[in-house]
Structure 1
């Protein structure tokens, strides 16, 4: 009994050691995102609706790279577990090469078809929302390659067990983003004259893009010049290794498809909300920001689970892998339950941070309370799916993501929100159904145990 207790204490210590930097990282992202949304919210409902809509579209574009990052994270974790550091470095190089090729295609097409894309995704939105959306989109697209670099290199470092370096880089990036938002959105007056003119939505787009460019260069510096578990050298020849690419794609392609399915579902929801008017779009964006607050600690625990489970499976320590997953899930559920209770109690105050419109504040607080009730399910859904990804059980996650998002989130959201005229409330009830169903599906899959023996 004493030995078992000591093992569990050691396991929890390892989990927290890996999780806390990622939690801090997400806290910084959330705080700066919250402040940025507050700035934009003061520009009016059209501005916050436009920024929220374009961010949904950008996240859709990033889905492919997030999948390749997952492939890189899982493969690197396995190789580190096998103590094969040379191939771990090779995996990072191949991930970057693939991402850059895909990026060039997406960016060129994204600029050429900017106006048709916005119309395609969001239909006939009001002129104010459209003008703000197009302005924001054309600027933030410039920063997309640096987001990709950050996603891939950060994912590889986390797979190797280094969660602190991405945290430090995120801290720098988000402080820069915050300061630039504060300076550029409303401008800076000195003695009644503008030292820096107010740029509005253009200002927040510039702030985010400049910060992302700096973040991408910092990640490259760390990869090539800092001493970490995984480093490349500028003397290394850039070479294609199709065998390693195939291995990454084996994990990354289903993960990319999962992300496309998910982000596609998010976009459909955004389009559905766009037909409900500017107020509904603003309320929906408040709900999504509440989601990001909840995701803050879950992200850290999910990454800890993926890294620890992946390394344990690489070393063929199957019981340890399962124990890491269970312990991480247990901690995450307890933490998110506390956050959910606080969000439920202070829902109105939280909504008021994003808007001064009484209608938006009231509706936003209702949406936040709906979401707060389901938060423990969100922890299970993310941590257990992270463990299944580490085991290579990506195809199951893709299928369940499709079922959860389209059969529950989208379909129930459409029935309740549109057909039964519940509006944005119906949309969020559909989202909660999705969380509940997928968390159950992942838990039963995890308990079956076959994920531990999949070859990746």
Structure 2
């Protein structure tokens, strides 16, 4: 019994050692995201509504390419578990080739069709919000290829068990983003007499795009010149390996579909909220931003579970894979419950960071409290999804995501928020029910155990 407890403690320690860099990475992203939103919120309610709206659209675009990152993570983890590092490097190169080619074409089309695209999704917003949204969109769309390169390489590194390198790069990128936001959004007077004029929303967009570009180049530098387990050689010829591409795509397409369904659901909810007025849009943005407080540890433990479970399955250690999954889930639930407790107590103070509008603060405080109560379910569904993703059981995740987001979050949110006139509170009831449904579905699938025998 003592040996079993000691074994569990060692596993917990291994999970935490792998998770903490990703948690720190998310803390950096969350902190800078919060500060950027606070900066934009001080520009005005229209500004925060416009930026939140376009960020939802960018996250939707990002979801299309997220499958490549997930496919790279899963395949690299399996190959590392099989002790085939040569094939792991081939997998990284093929992921990189696909991500660069597709993201550049996508960015060109996204820029050309900027106006009709925003009109399709957010045509009902006020002219002032639309104008700011277009300014923000035309700048941040240019950073998409660099953002995708960063995501895909980081996914490969995590699959190999290296969560520290993505953390360091994220730290650099977010510090740059923060500094640029502080200079460009409100302007600054230097002692030399040089003046940077306040750029408002444009300044926030430039900050995001410049920092993402730097992040993409840093990841490429580390991949080719850093001493990592899956480094590529700059002298090596770029070769297409269609068999490896298809292996990644077999995991990546369902994973992309999952992300598109998920981000599509988020985007539709954002569109519904945009018809409720500027106050509701600001509240929604603040609520989602505050929720990143809770998501940061969940993200870390989910990635740790994906990497450790994937490597265990590659090494045919099925029982160990199950133990990693359970311990990751349990730690995540405990950590998120503690964070949720403090979010509930300090909900008003948290909301007041983003705006001085008393109405927005009051409603946002209520929304944050609702989120705080259901956070443990968010931990369960994300960690279990990470486990199933490592196993290659992505079609089930796609199904669960569709049911949770579209049949519950979107449908119930729209019905309560718009049809019955509850407004933004109706949207949040739909979100909470989505958490319940998906956490139950993933837990059931995990308990059934078939995920341990899927080939990828």
Question: Normalized against structure 2, the TM-score is what?
Answer: 0.99
Instruction: Kindly indicate whether residue 285 of structure 2 is the aligned counterpart of residue 285 of structure 1.
Output: yes
**TM-aligned CA deviation for residue 192 of structure 1:** 12
Distance between the aligned counterparts of 1:224 and 1:105, measured in 2? 24
Give the Å deviation of 1:178: 0.4
Residue deviations 1:167-196, cap 9 Å, x none? 000000000000000011001135897721
Report how many residues are paired: 456
Distance (whole Å) between structure 1 residues aligned to residue 169 and residue 349 of structure 2: 31
Deviations along 1:329-380, one digit per CA (max 9) or x if unpaired, are: 0000000000001001110000001111111100100111111110000000
Residue 158 in structure 1 maps to residue 158 in structure 2: yes
C-alpha displacement of 1:142: 1.0
Once the 2 structures are TM-superposed, how far is the Cα of residue 97 of structure 1 from its aligned partner? 1.1
Gaps of 5+ in 2: none
SS, match of residue 239 in structure 1: coil
Instruction: Give matches, 1:265-344, under 5 Å.
Output: 265-344=265-344
State the alpha-carbon separation in 2 of the partners of residues 378 and 191 from structure 1: 48
Alignment of 1:377 with 2:377, yes or no, is: yes
Structure 1 match to 2:146: 146
Match of 1:41 in 2: 41
CA distance in 2, matches of 1:99, 1:162: 20
Cα distance in 1 for partners of 2:192, 2:308 equals 56
Tell me the equivalent position of 1:202: 202
2:130 aligned counterpart, secondary structure? helix
Task: Report 1:23-422 matches (<5 A).
Answer: 23-190=23-190, 195-422=195-422
Give the Cα separation in 1 of the matches to 2:287 and 2:194.
35
* Contact map agreement 1:82 1:314 (CA 8 A) in 2: yes
* Distance apart, 1:108 and its partner CA: 1.6
Q: Distance in 1 between matches of 2:290 and 2:453?
A: 37
Q: Secondary structure at the match of 2:233?
A: coil
SS in 2 for 1:42: helix
Distance apart, 1:124 and its partner CA: 2.1
Instruction: Judge conservation of contact 1:385–1:397 (CA < 8 Å) in 2.
Output: yes
Do residues 6 (structure 1) and 3 (structure 2) align? no
Structure 1 segments (4+ residues) deviating >2 Å: 189-194
For 2:56 and 2:188, the matched residues in 1 are separated by 30
Per-residue CA deviations over 1:219-268 (Å, capped at 9, x if unaligned) read: 00000001001100111111111110111011110000000001111111
Q: Is the 8 A contact 1:54 1:136 kept in 2?
A: yes
The answer to whether the Cα contact below 8 Å between 1:79 and 1:87 also exists between their aligned partners in 2 is: yes
> Separation in 2 of the partners of 1:100 and 1:165?
21
- Per the TM alignment, residue 65 of structure 1 is displaced from its structure 2 partner at its CA by 1.2
